[in-house]
Structure 1
Amino acid sequence: MNYHFRKAPITDAPKIWIILQQAILRRKTDGSNQWQDGYPNPEIIQQDIEKRIGYVLTDDNIIIGYTAVLINDEPEYENLQGEWLTTSDFVVFHRVAIAQEYIGQNLSKKMIDFIEAFALENNIHSLKADTNHDNFAMMSIFEKSGFVFCGIVHFRGSPRRAYEKVLNA
């Protein structure tokens, strides 16, 4: 496989939306409440791309995954009920989704590896992320990837499990 991680241009938006729709359906099938409230949606994808924070994972030229990657930009993380491992700069990622036909190939972990490299290229040694309390697949990925549970944050009125991973240079 020839994986790449790149910023998404607006022309990627239709394929990204298909991948996110598949992930929304998987969350529902898994019994999770995450992403069952109209979020994410095509407008969110467009905003991500316009802000230059939308990234795709590709296999050659085929888009197989999506996430939004930001630096120091998650105001809700200041309201953590718990304690972060670090208080310095951090990279946060949201809306991780893998195309249905690529599920089970450990690609969320591959995407996190690319995000770690992005952080280190920017001299940042902390990754932060969160997920719904009933998204057991993502919690498992975080734990297998070396993230530590740090506490609870709230998004759109819902509690979320917050994680951090400290990166070594």
Structure 2
Amino acid sequence: MQGLNPGQRWIRHAKLTDIAAIEALFDRARQVMAEAGNPRQWGDKYPFPEMIEADIRQGHTYLLVDDAAQEAQAPSTSPELPQLDERQGEHERIIGVFSLFDGIDPTYVDIDGSWLDDDPYMTIHRMAASGLGKRAAADMLAWCMSQYRNVRVDTGPKNYAMQHILEAQGFTFCGSIGVHDDRDPLMESTRVAYQRHDR
């Protein structure tokens, strides 16, 4: 990416200094899900602070950003596919966050249904949007698919908005998986699982 265009979005790795902003995104995501009738996907604590920090330290967390914080009318979308660029804009806005993992995800081993295949894959977890721009989830998913051909992701059974976005982005519903974490008893234990494999 050459110069910083305020309306252009890009992807960068999250830093420890981004933790407060990321926690605010997750707070908003929990509120939006609760208002949409999906209060139990993330309960009232997930993602947990130690999980957020560990993801960043291990290089798993990415941010979708632009440089339009000082614009009178900040653009709500970008016509271009975001590219990976580690620069930080002077007037940066965080549009979205997600974590990306390589290798076998233990929660995906047992599925009520079947995955598209058993080929090596990447997994997306903890995706959330700030509400500052349209198509944030679509942009993050599109970037992941531009980097990796085989991607799996899960969401809540009542997260109809995310299910719609996944299907619009070419992901296939594969079945249901179980998750369990004693740290938040309000969090539901079932997820619906999706996969996209571009051959």
In structure 2, distance between residues paired with 1:5 and 1:57 = 5
In structure 2, distance between residues paired with 1:158 and 1:41 = 16
Structure 1 residue aligned with 2:137: 108
In structure 2, distance between residues paired with 1:73 and 1:63 = 29
> Contact conserved, 2:47 with 2:126, CA < 8 A, in 1?
yes
User: TM-score, normalized by length of structure 1?
Assistant: 0.90
Q: Does 2:160 correspond to 1:136?
A: yes
SS of aligned partner of 1:26: helix
Q: Which has the higher strand share?
A: 1
Deviation at 1:142, TM superposition (A): 0.7
Q: Does 2:122 correspond to 1:91?
A: yes
Deviation at 1:37, TM superposition (A): 4.2
Q: Which has the higher helix share?
A: 1
Structure 1 residue aligned with 2:171: 147
In structure 1, distance between residues paired with 2:57 and 2:136 = 25
Q: Structure 1: any 5+ residue segments left out of the alignment?
A: 120-124
User: TM-score, normalized by length of structure 2?
Assistant: 0.77
In structure 1, distance between residues paired with 2:193 and 2:179 = 11
Deviation at 1:71, TM superposition (A): 0.9
SS of aligned partner of 1:79: coil
In structure 2, distance between residues paired with 1:19 and 1:134 = 20
Query: Residue by residue, what CA displacement relative to the aligned partner does 1:89-145 show, whole Å, maximum 9, x if unpaired?
Result: 10110111010333xx111000101111221xxxxx211000110001110011100
Structure with max Cα Rg: 2
Q: Given the alignment, which residue of 57, 62, 65 partners 2:64?
A: 57
TM superposition outliers: structure 1 runs of 4+ over 3 Å = none
Q: Given the alignment, which residue of 13, 28, 35 partners 1:7?
A: 13
Q: Structure 2: any 5+ residue segments left out of the alignment?
A: 1-6, 68-91, 181-187
In structure 2, distance between residues paired with 1:34 and 1:78 = 20
